Amino acid sequence: MSENKAQTIKNKLWAMANELRGNMDANEFKNYILAFMFYRYLSEHQEDYLVTNNVIDVPAGMSVNEAYAKEAAGEDLADYLEDISATLGYAIAPNDTWASLSEKIANSEVIPSDYQTMFDNFNKNASLNPEALQDFSGIFNDINLGDSRLGANTTARAKSLNGIVKMIDDVKFKDDDGKDILGEVYEYLIGEFASSAGKKGGEFYTPHEVSKILAKIATHGVKETGETFAVYDPTMGSGSLLLTVGNELPHGKKTGAIKYYGQELNTTTYNIARMNLMMHDVNFNNMTLNNADTLDSDWPDGPDDRGIDRPRSFDAVVANPPYSAKWDNDKSKLKDPRFSDYGKLAPASKADYAFILHSLYHLNNEGTMAIVLPHGVLFRGAAEGTIRKTLIEKNYLDAVIGLPANLFYGTSIPTTILVFKKNRKNKDILFIDASKEFEKGKNQNTLSEANIDKIVSTYVNREDVEKYAHVASLDEIKENDFNLNIPRYVDTFEEEEPVDLDEVKKLLAQDDEEIKQLEAEIAEQLKILGV
């Protein structure tokens, strides 16, 4: 019942969002609805903090926001904002809370400039806690309040924004058990927007079933030790893959048990990732996200200017980078420690191996790395062939998993998951061909739970499975000149059933007899007609 209610809420919100966006592209409209959902979350999270920690007294018959406004009036406001920010990392003044905004809209008291003032005040208050500045500063900057598609003038645009606020305010983000599902709905909307955005959707979202495979492999064998588990995604998109890793850890829900690290080049997507993690109850102290070009700006190690540690290596690295992207492979990068041990740089027109080497460089000696890439990385020659050979000779490559075509938004090509470990004891490589096992969809294929479980269990068991998996020795790899094309190792050929020649002759004889009878009948009819 709870699951049904959650899905009903998701469907309702998506339908309303589609109606509200009018002629605005789904990929752009997402910036408004996701940001306002996040603002509601922050405001209500602040209310919970004020009440739970007895920061304010809420008299009977008075709302939390009314009590907050009364106690934080005048000169006391600055002290309240300082106190809230010290704990939550951000602070919202009483006049800028979600409750205040909703009330002003209901009373037709919103003026066009109110939205800009609200976000300006949030940015100003974000500087109150220097340790959280990177996590909250500019997080709402992608809301283009002046977009003409919202309305022809400021009043019309304010009316459109009011409609979005009303829509979000009308939805009660609780399931039948009273559990808050705001983060779950937020994740659902990211996926729906990605689906509607076509090719652009693939730039910020990895399909959940693929994320689950990466996460299950990257966390396999991890036990609860009391130590913090660190996961890094160098091309994190909306942050969904990072969250999926946390969900797969046996202790991932414990406060501070996992720290999330990530980089994202696109500023809009980086903002969504920050929101997404916090909407899933990740405290700002447990996430370090950068808005940077991963290949040009390597992940910084050591403490930052806030004194917060940024480790060079991580317990798990997961990635779904842009496929065969262009990058600056200036020869000076051969001195970069990420790339210096492989003799060659990835070609300028295909950064796939640059992402592999960057990710591997930041994997610790006991961790696991799982990365999704196009099949070309398995067999292309020249510089990529040299790098691939070196990786195999260093015994870093653990498994090659072929996925079905048409799983990802914006591309129908089949992809492969490469799994790496730095401290492998075995010298073989596991090949899995899962390309033929999927659920056929109208526009996109999907993986069922059974498909996912088969891939993961085959990876864990590491045994040959007829027409599905093969453990290849290093000698086999060498015999194939370090070409990793999966059909070289997993034979999926299906023999046709043998033909019964006697039966074929019998059928042909029957056909001949039927033809003779038809010819005789036709001749008789022509004779009657005098032809």
pTM, full prediction: 0.87
| Segments of the chain with pLDDT less than 70 | 1-5, 23, 175-180, 197-204, 303-309, 410, 493-497, 499, 531
Inter-residue contact 144 to 160 (CB < 8 Å): no
Separation in Å, CA 135 to CA 90, 127, 193, 227, 290: 9, 10, 24, 24, 9
As a whole number of angstroms, the distance between CA 229 and CA 208 comes to: 21
As a whole number of angstroms, the distance between CA 346 and CA 327 comes to: 9
Q: How many CB atoms lie within 10 A of CB 83?
A: 17
Quote the pLDDT of residue 350. Answer: 96
As a whole number of angstroms, the distance between CA 527 and CA 344 comes to: 84
Instruction: Please give the angle made by the CA atoms of 203, 260 and 180, to the nearest 5 degrees.
Output: 85
Residues counted in the chain: 531
- Which residues fall within 8 angstroms of residue 224, CB to CB, at 6 or more apart? 250, 251, 257
Exposure string for 259-285, b = 16+ CB within 10 A, e = fewer: bbbbbbbeebbbbbbbbbbbbbebebe
Instruction: Please give the angle made by the CA atoms of 372, 373 and 378, to the nearest 5 degrees.
Output: 120
Write out the DSSP string of 219-256.
TTT----SSPEEEEETT-TTSHHHHHHHHHSTTTTSTT
Inter-residue contact 192 to 277 (CB < 8 Å): no
Q: Which two tokens stand for residue 56?
A: 């304010």
Exposure string for 89-103, b = 16+ CB within 10 A, e = fewer: bbbbbbbbbbbbbbe
As a whole number of angstroms, the distance between CA 270 and CA 297 comes to: 15
Q: Identify the H or E element spanning 213.
A: helix 208-218
Exposure string for 435-473, b = 16+ CB within 10 A, e = fewer: beebeeeeeebbbeeebbebbbebbeeeeeeeebbbbbe
Quote the pLDDT of residue 494. Answer: 56
Among 255, 263, 309, residue whose Cα is nearest residue 282? 255
Quote the pLDDT of residue 1. Answer: 37
What is the DSSP secondary structure assignment for residue 294, as one 8-state letter?
T
Quote the pLDDT of residue 5. Answer: 63
Quote the pLDDT of residue 121. Answer: 96
